[in-house]
Structure 1
Amino acid sequence: MRILSDDQLAQLLDKDIFHKISEAADSLHLECYVVGGYVRDLFLERPSNDIDVVVVGSGIEVASRLKSMLGRRAHLSVFRNFGTAQVKCGGLEVEFVGARKESYSHDSRKPHVEDGTLEDDQNRRDFTINAMAVCLNGDRFGELVDPFDGVADLEDGIIATPLDPDITFSDDPLRMMRCVRFATQLNFEIEEETREALARNADRLKIISGERIQEELNKIILAPHPSTGFFYLRESGLLQLILPELVALDQVETRNGRAHKNNFYHTLEVLENVVRAQKAKANDMRLNGLDDKAAAKEGEPTFDHTLWLRWAALLHDIGKPKSKRWEPAQGWTFHNHNYLGAKMVPGIFRRLKLPLDAKMKYVQKLVDLHMRPQVIADEEVTDSAVRRMVNDAGDDIDDLMMLCEADITSKNQVKKQRFLQNFQLVREKIVDLKERDFKRLLQPCIDGNEIMEMFHLQPCREVGVLKQTLKDAVLDMKVPNEREPLMQLLMEKAKQMGLIET
């Protein structure tokens, strides 16, 4: 960051849009300030196109005057119920609101709003670093108004509330999620009193909708180091309300001197490993002149996997508490935790109002399959085993391998290196199979419709058994994917099942 004088702020705001806002406000004899994130990001030297403007008086009037000055190139939207307006022009969005003071009831985060002064408006802001304002009026253009020393908190890397944090968080509990989110995104520390208030008010989060919580949670997950946010969420008690399945991982049990690892901290390490791998892959793609859209298949629906692969990392071990067993010969085991975890994914997505479409199915699939490469790597890396894994993972095989490599968090470097070398063998086998056009082998040339017609069957278990028999034979390369040998195998299986007379 850099410390900016009023003259330097005026230079940074020396743009047509701000001079036009200044002219509009002065023509109406109203005080006008750019506030919030735009001001914060000027000090942090971060680009921003979203501009929030507070007017001591009617923000709608200033917005309407600005629209008149800009003409057809600008679009004005007015929200009279909220006393706000928005002007879009040339890729910029400027939000106008009248200065106000707020009061809250205990059972709602919707405030009772009254007209107020700039001081009232700054008092209602969530954090000191978001409470700074820079005047846009002609005679004070560039003058910083910083009553809560937001610049000092930016310099020190601190998240703190302008007023009593208990009141700030109780009034609008979503601010607790925003507190953790800003600390995570900016790599700041939460000031001690503010941090303690998070824990005292955590239960207030219950009045916030799942949609608003997941918006902030997704921003935390997409931060450069999301584990920071989950440490704060766990410490404050917020995580217990949002994702109790993760909190259940935060335990270590010892029996006969043998303990299992803390799977909560392991999960956060896996998440960080995935973030690191994603950054490396993105850099490689940029060096090669590619991006995710260019790499996607033409005509196929796609989505950005960045967020959802991180969700898979976050949830990959949630089945462990339910699957944990003590076996005297082996110690602690977590058999089928991947299967149990995959079954839990839809419920979590539904509760947090996350999408239940292909994104959820993608996460569920990776949670279910995340042990498969390790099992293959532990044994002989056969064509058959790899082909089955590729068939199940489909186009997400590279993401699955990235997750599985991230899952190796052993502190024993020799053991860790051995695992990674084994995974490299699996990757090489995948490439080898692709070079041999393995996709052609994945679906037998005799499909379910033909089977039903041949044996006069409706959709039923028998059709599934026959299809799976052909599929297994092709995947295991017991027969070539050709009609004559598959038909022979099909008839033999049908006879065994009593579908045709011998």
Structure 2
Amino acid sequence: MPNANNDTHAPQTERSAQTTQALNQVQRRAVSELLRVSPVADDLARRFQEAGFTLALVGGSVRDALLGRLGNDLDFTTDARPEDVLKIVRPWADAVWEVGIAFGTVGCKKDSFDIEVTTYRSEAYDRTSRKPEVSYGDSIEDDLVRRDFTVNAMAVALPEKEFIDPHNGLEDLAAQVLRTPGTPQESFSDDPLRMMRAARFAAQLDFTVAPEVVAAMKEMADRIDIVSAERVRDELNKLILGAHPRKGLALLVESGIADRVLPELPALRLERDEHHRHKDVYEHSLTVLDQAIDLEEDGPDLVLRLAALLHDIGKPKTRRFEKDGRVSFHHHEVVGAKMTKKRMTALKYSNEMVKDVARLVELHLRFHGYGTGEWTDSAVRRYVRDAGPLLTRLHKLTRSDCTTRNKRKANALSRAYDGLEERIARLQEQEELDAIRPDLDGNDIMQVLDIAPGPGVGKAYKYLLELRLENGPMGRDAAVAALKEWWAEQQS
């Protein structure tokens, strides 16, 4: 990949051997990645060239190529206006979509590649707007300077494969540092969401955020207030689903941005009492998140990760110093579930996700009633019934919630939970616990009691469900006899 518009490759005397080796490595990776996508990219570039326009692979696609992790999502930039882009890609692509055309972006699919082509542009917020104002630019240099970070401000002009790096993004990539092309103040003023992107990329790429960028985030944290809840939520999700979410979350807290978008997280930094009678709830929550991630089996699980992060957010409101010197957090799981619903609703999460995460927060302490393993089969059935389809996640959350350094205590908790899971498995095999329901359904109840649909049927169903949870499967005859007996008592 030829050099281009900068002095990226300075003499050896001006650069350490280690840096040079890192740069060579990322360039080798990039060549390999670009060769893989070259047939599609070059074909598209020639079509733009024949129409009198330029085309370049840009931004995250170049960054990921240099990191050796370029997928099938390709981002291009061009001097062609959106209407011209449509004329070029429609005869060529397998499918075309115009969802982002108001922002200068045309999307299309070709073979296995999802492609976005965006006209050179500059966009900025005014002081109060939640939507950026978009204007088109005339050069790729103008386009790159408006990018969020130098590692995303590189391009490869096609089809000649000229590497364009006016802001030394390649060196920052090799050093794993996040900087802005211009001053961070200008960048964050243009789009305040970039402050959250700094934390997101730290979490995804395990990069360090440059000190001047962190300072600007602290200085301008209040600017995040003009960004819509949906955009904040989407960045938060990407951060939490990253490989190193603790790193990104810690930056949000340190910079003060979390105080504005997820205030329940920094609130966990409770002042320690002089006798240190309770653990650091903030650090505990981040550790629980780390441990939950270790238990994931089928890739990142947003519901589990959110529940792990938020499971103790009710503790600050419920902390009490007891007369015997202990610190208590009575019913913090109930308070925390309500707080979770409120925050996630404000961030515009789906109703289903709000319900699932809040339910896990509410149930995360339930296992500790198991204690010495003396739960009855009835209690185990209720545990399974209350968890419902979240049971597997509840297992992982509960195991993750053990952060004690006392190995004996940790091993005892682990053995107890092993025992509970074994009992659940045995009961599931015997009783089909995943579909706990009474031995009689609503039609059966109406027939046995000779009653019409109404509240009485619901009360009878609830009674039979309690019997089922308490006793396990009863069989039809026993259930009919119990129902008739209960009904007679109700009538008297």
Matched, 1:25 2:41: no
Residue pair 1:452, 1:459 contacting (<8 A) in 2 also: no
Residue pair 1:381, 1:425 contacting (<8 A) in 2 also: no
Match of 1:329 in 2: 324
**Kindly tell me: are residues 101 and 495 of structure 1, through their superposed partners in 2, closer, same or farther at Cα, counting changes over 3 Å?**
closer
1:187 and 1:440 mapped to 2: Cα distance?
40
Match of 1:241 in 2: 260
Matched, 1:39 2:34: no
**Kindly tell me: are residues 392 and 90 of structure 1, through their superposed partners in 2, closer, same or farther at Cα, counting changes over 3 Å?**
same
The one-letter amino acid paired with 1:272 is D
What aligned pairs does 1:363-374 form with structure 2 within 5 A after superposition?
A: 363-374=357-368
Match of 1:421 in 2: 415
1:199 and 1:362 mapped to 2: Cα distance?
33
For residue 205 of structure 2, the aligned residue among 163, 166, 186 is 186
Match of 1:384 in 2: 378
The one-letter amino acid paired with 1:382 is T
Q: Which runs of 5+ in 1 are unaligned?
A: 284-304
- CA displacement, residues 14-68 of structure 1 (integer Å, 9 cap, x when unaligned): 7222222332233244343221111111110002222222223546535533544
- CA displacement, residues 74-100 of structure 1 (integer Å, 9 cap, x when unaligned): 444567644443342112233223323
What aligned pairs does 1:120-135 form with structure 2 within 5 A after superposition?
A: 120-135=142-157
Match of 2:115 in 1: 94
Matched, 1:500 2:484: no
1:195 and 1:145 mapped to 2: Cα distance?
27
Task: Indicate the SS of the match to 2:76.
Answer: strand
Task: Indicate the SS of the match to 2:403.
Answer: coil
**Kindly tell me: are residues 495 and 154 of structure 1, through their superposed partners in 2, closer, same or farther at Cα, counting changes over 3 Å?**
same
**Kindly tell me: are residues 367 and 167 of structure 1, through their superposed partners in 2, closer, same or farther at Cα, counting changes over 3 Å?**
same
Residue pair 1:159, 1:189 contacting (<8 A) in 2 also: yes
For residue 194 of structure 2, the aligned residue among 172, 175, 180 is 175
Match of 1:317 in 2: 312
Match of 1:299 in 2: none
Residue pair 2:89, 2:96 contacting (<8 A) in 1 also: no
Residue pair 1:308, 1:363 contacting (<8 A) in 2 also: yes
Match of 2:474 in 1: 481
Residue pair 2:29, 2:66 contacting (<8 A) in 1 also: no
1:361 and 1:25 mapped to 2: Cα distance?
48
- CA displacement, residues 246-293 of structure 1 (integer Å, 9 cap, x when unaligned): 2221113426x3521121211111111111000xx349xxxxxxxxxx
**Percent identity of the aligned residues?**
35
Taking only aligned residues, the RMSD between alpha carbons, in angstroms, comes to 3.0
Q: Which runs of 5+ in 2 are unaligned?
A: 1-21
What aligned pairs does 1:260-275 form with structure 2 within 5 A after superposition?
A: 260-275=278-293
TM-score with structure 1 length normalisation?
A: 0.84
1:480 and 1:6 mapped to 2: Cα distance?
61
Residue pair 1:374, 1:423 contacting (<8 A) in 2 also: no
Task: Indicate the SS of the match to 2:26.
Answer: coil
Task: Indicate the SS of the match to 1:178.
Answer: helix
Task: Indicate the SS of the match to 1:125.
Answer: coil
CA shift, 1:456, in A, is: 5.8
TM-score with structure 2 length normalisation?
A: 0.85
The one-letter amino acid paired with 2:158 is L
**Kindly tell me: are residues 76 and 368 of structure 1, through their superposed partners in 2, closer, same or farther at Cα, counting changes over 3 Å?**
closer
2:407 and 2:213 mapped to 1: Cα distance?
39
**Kindly tell me: are residues 178 and 429 of structure 1, through their superposed partners in 2, closer, same or farther at Cα, counting changes over 3 Å?**
same
CA shift, 1:308, in A, is: 0.9
- CA displacement, residues 434-478 of structure 1 (integer Å, 9 cap, x when unaligned): 222253993222456766783868755x8766544433333222x
CA shift, 1:409, in A, is: 0.5
CA shift, 1:3, in A, is: 3.1
The one-letter amino acid paired with 1:337 is H
Residue pair 1:10, 1:142 contacting (<8 A) in 2 also: no
1:272 and 1:202 mapped to 2: Cα distance?
26
What aligned pairs does 1:184-333 form with structure 2 within 5 A after superposition?
A: 184-254=203-273, 257-278=275-296, 281-282=297-298, 306-329=301-324, 331-333=326-328
- CA displacement, residues 380-439 of structure 1 (integer Å, 9 cap, x when unaligned): 143222122112112332221111000000011111111111111111111111222253
Residue pair 2:439, 2:468 contacting (<8 A) in 1 also: no
Match of 1:61 in 2: 84
- CA displacement, residues 333-353 of structure 1 (integer Å, 9 cap, x when unaligned): 122222222223322221000
CA shift, 1:237, in A, is: 1.0
Match of 1:375 in 2: 369
- CA displacement, residues 286-332 of structure 1 (integer Å, 9 cap, x when unaligned): xxxxxxxxxxxxxxxxxxx8211111112211222222222223611
**Kindly tell me: are residues 398 and 82 of structure 1, through their superposed partners in 2, closer, same or farther at Cα, counting changes over 3 Å?**
closer
Match of 1:163 in 2: 182
Task: Indicate the SS of the match to 1:245.
Answer: coil
Matched, 1:107 2:128: yes
Residue pair 1:77, 1:87 contacting (<8 A) in 2 also: yes
For residue 352 of structure 1, the aligned residue among 342, 347, 350 is 347
Task: Indicate the SS of the match to 2:264.
Answer: helix
